[in-house]
A and B are shown apart, each in its own frame.
Chain A
């Protein structure tokens, strides 16, 4: 799993801002996004419609929310495969609360707290016991979803209060959905946290060299623990949104989301080996994935075929700069 970390190239002098902006990962993503946007608007006459574009955002807002926290976690050199299972467990708990007659604020609180607790559980196992996060979260992924299956079996919870539907189906203004607003707020918060605070610098430091970070006085364990809690928290929030949008809970809810979230993060230019990445990249990657799935959906392409495009996009976008650099290096 942990591939050999290549010696990191640290330049004496930074590239000129303009030059580095043009050749940055984010620039590549913008080009890809614009290209897909243009292709989409030619491919389907229904694409360039405010209501269509608004529907489009639902394809990525929930996963995107988790992707922000996941980006920080992956930058710090850890990973969380249990996010979709946390969604299932939090949704199941909310469903139980509904049967007990809970009102909307209580439901939201339960969803968010269950997410936070699950994240803290992952964080404790990884930081206190020093276990590899990929294995721990494969385990908790089975455990959390397993608990949802034990509680629900082949049943489903329904009967969510009407006011609860706002989170996943409501619009704040015209075609701007509540989910989109939440996504944009989260993007700004996480951008600030990662790129403008000492906490963010510490996350990068841990990802680049945890030992050196430790000796520089960074509390590696505590920061990683906080990141796991954040990822759990965002999964809890996503669970509220998804449950509200679907209006029901099944234990198989959000199956396979974890891989889509990670795809989004990696596509956004976050190094899977840790130590590098940006929130702007993740936002762009979320848009790209939303554009691809929605555009293909308008063309009646089945979901499973869309996943081919997502998979290809992931590999090509990662391989492209490597191939290009190599070609340029040879000539």
Chain B
């Protein structure tokens, strides 16, 4: 099974390399390491969000409220920064994580304690969190001139020639990699997705694990909130409106099965990178940015067609292995 997962990621990585190759045949500067670093940095926030969404989707749930969480948390930290510029940025990031965690925990509690399907819960909180942003801000914007230089500059500072934003993304990727491959929680998340009933019999608390994954996606949403606001230096109610579907798109392109249980950290990262490269390449090759939506739509459909083939095959492989083992 692992060999197969690797195969899928290699496949996606190849597609990305071919894509970069195709673009660079006409615009050699695109494949320049400096530019690729820039693309990675541009995609960092989407990668982080996709990883948060991934753990939720793996447990057969979905979190539609991530973009609204991002918007709300971003507004909280931006207003805090505007009112008290003295608060150090690391503390602000902790606050962002905490606010995001609370919002995620609300989703998680509703799913866990009341057994409401996650799609219904997060459909509700999607509108509630964004509405709450309006109530909090009174509809006002927080502009660049109200933010402290540290607030804006933190993620742009270079460390070993790479911006802090990219380092944060790398750190989050590493943490998720450890979580999914080296911890019991990671195994439980996969187990619940593959077979929830069997997971209960093996002693996994399905409800509690779902609660935890919503807390994780909430924290990620909060972190992305700070990063998004300080990157685009504006906090408003419209921030990341509709972005929840981009996050899910990155996961789907990355080979994460919406039916749960199948997917990997590498896949989510590559899926996000794929979308990031497209959005970065379009202006370079002189295609109107209005094409982007249709292109990512086609990419999603293509990815899900290819993934469906893979999943079917995988079922057989598991059975054969199980037979061989007994």
Binding site for B on A (CB under 8 A): 1-4, 6, 81, 125, 129-132, 134-136, 138-147, 149-150, 153, 251, 255-256, 259, 262-263, 266, 272-273, 302, 304-308, 310-312, 314-315, 318-319, 322-323
Chain B CB within 10 A, most for which of A3, A6, A131, A302: A3
Q: Which 8 A-B pairs have the closest CB atoms?
A: A146-B294, A142-B297, A143-B297, A146-B293, A308-B131, A139-B300, A311-B127, A311-B128
Give, as a whole number of angstroms, the nearest-CB distance from A76 to chain B.
Answer: 16
Contact of A142 among B115, B259, B300 (CB under 8 A): B300
Compute how far the CA of A2 lies from the CA of B62 in the bound complex, rounded to whole angstroms. Answer: 9
B114 CB–A CB distance under 8 Å: yes
A315 and B125 form a contact (CB under 8 A): yes
A150 and B294 form a contact (CB under 8 A): yes
What residues of chain A lie closer than 8 Å to B123, measured between beta carbons? 259, 262-263, 266, 311, 314
A323 and B114 form a contact (CB under 8 A): yes
**What does the 1/0 interface line of B117-128 toward A look like (CB < 8 Å)?**
111110111111
B218 CB–A CB distance under 8 Å: no
B48 CB–A CB distance under 8 Å: no
B135 and A308 form a contact (CB under 8 A): yes
Given A3-B60, A136-B304, A153-B288, A142 and B245 contact (CB-CB distance below 8 Å) = yes
B127 and A259 form a contact (CB under 8 A): yes
What residues of chain A lie closer than 8 Å to B288, measured between beta carbons? 150, 153
**Which range contains the number of B residues in contact with the other chain?**
35 or more
What residues of chain A lie closer than 8 Å to B132, measured between beta carbons? 308
What residues of chain B lie closer than 8 Å to A263, measured between beta carbons? 123-124, 127
A307 and B61 form a contact (CB under 8 A): no
B128 and A273 form a contact (CB under 8 A): no
Contact of A146 among B114, B120, B297 (CB under 8 A): B297
A310 and B127 form a contact (CB under 8 A): yes
Compute how far the CA of A70 lies from the CA of B131 in the bound complex, rounded to whole angstroms. Answer: 25
Chain B residues 137 to 186 lying within 8 A of chain A, measured CB to CB, are 139
Compute how far the CA of A273 lies from the CA of B118 in the bound complex, rounded to whole angstroms. Answer: 11
What residues of chain A lie closer than 8 Å to B304, measured between beta carbons? 131-132, 135-136, 139
Q: How many A-B residue pairs have CB under 8 A?
A: 159
* Chain A to chain B contacts (Cβ below 8 Å), 13 pairs: A1-B260, A4-B196, A134-B62, A138-B245, A139-B252, A142-B293, A143-B293, A143-B294, A143-B301, A266-B120, A272-B117, A311-B128, A322-B116
B57 CB–A CB distance under 8 Å: yes
B270 CB–A CB distance under 8 Å: no
What residues of chain B lie closer than 8 Å to A136, measured between beta carbons? 301, 304
In the complex, residue of chain B having the shortest beta-carbon distance to the beta carbon of A129: B305
B127 and A318 form a contact (CB under 8 A): no
Compute how far the CA of A147 lies from the CA of B297 in the bound complex, rounded to whole angstroms. Answer: 10
- Interface secondary structure of B, over-half rule: helix
A4 and B119 form a contact (CB under 8 A): no
B242 CB–A CB distance under 8 Å: yes
B258 CB–A CB distance under 8 Å: yes
Contact of B301 among A1, A140, A323 (CB under 8 A): A140
**What does the 1/0 interface line of B247-260 toward A look like (CB < 8 Å)?**
01100100000111
**What does the 1/0 interface line of B300-311 toward A look like (CB < 8 Å)?**
110011001000
B116 and A2 form a contact (CB under 8 A): no
B128 and A312 form a contact (CB under 8 A): yes
B110 and A315 form a contact (CB under 8 A): yes
Chain A CB within 10 A, most for which of B123, B245, B260, B308: B123
What residues of chain A lie closer than 8 Å to B259, measured between beta carbons? 1-2, 132
Given A272-B119, A308-B131, A135 and B258 contact (CB-CB distance below 8 Å) = yes
What residues of chain B lie closer than 8 Å to A305, measured between beta carbons? 131, 134-135
What residues of chain A lie closer than 8 Å to B139, measured between beta carbons? 302, 304
B292 CB–A CB distance under 8 Å: yes
A308 and B127 form a contact (CB under 8 A): yes
B197 CB–A CB distance under 8 Å: yes
B201 CB–A CB distance under 8 Å: no
Give, as a whole number of angstroms, the nearest-CB distance from B63 to chain A.
Answer: 11
Chain B residues 270 to 287 lying within 8 A of chain A, measured CB to CB, are none
Give, as a whole number of angstroms, the nearest-CB distance from B60 to chain A.
Answer: 6
Given A135-B300, A308-B128, A312-B128, A318 and B308 contact (CB-CB distance below 8 Å) = no
Contact of A3 among B61, B125, B248, B258 (CB under 8 A): B61
Compute how far the CA of A319 lies from the CA of B121 in the bound complex, rounded to whole angstroms. Answer: 10
Contact of A318 among B116, B293, B305 (CB under 8 A): B116
Contact of B294 among A130, A142, A273 (CB under 8 A): A142
Compute how far the CA of A134 lies from the CA of B206 in the bound complex, rounded to whole angstroms. Answer: 23
**What does the 1/0 interface line of B181-219 toward A look like (CB < 8 Å)?**
000000000000000110000000010000000000000
Compute how far the CA of A195 lies from the CA of B128 in the bound complex, rounded to whole angstroms. Answer: 34
Given A131-B308, A256-B242, A272-B119, A1 and B127 contact (CB-CB distance below 8 Å) = no
B61 and A146 form a contact (CB under 8 A): no
A315 and B116 form a contact (CB under 8 A): yes
In the complex, residue of chain B having the shortest beta-carbon distance to the beta carbon of A266: B120
What residues of chain A lie closer than 8 Å to B308, measured between beta carbons? 129-131
In the complex, residue of chain A having the shortest beta-carbon distance to the beta carbon of B206: A4
Contact of A132 among B134, B258, B297 (CB under 8 A): B258
In the complex, residue of chain B having the shortest beta-carbon distance to the beta carbon of A306: B131
Compute how far the CA of A266 lies from the CA of B294 in the bound complex, rounded to whole angstroms. Answer: 29
- Given A142-B293, A149-B294, 13 other A-B contacts at CB below 8 A? A135-B252, A135-B300, A139-B298, A142-B294, A143-B294, A262-B123, A304-B139, A307-B130, A308-B135, A311-B125, A314-B124, A319-B116, A322-B116
Give, as a whole number of angstroms, the nearest-CB distance from B292 to chain A.
Answer: 7
Compute how far the CA of A143 lies from the CA of B291 in the bound complex, rounded to whole angstroms. Answer: 10
Compute how far the CA of A315 lies from the CA of B107 in the bound complex, rounded to whole angstroms. Answer: 11
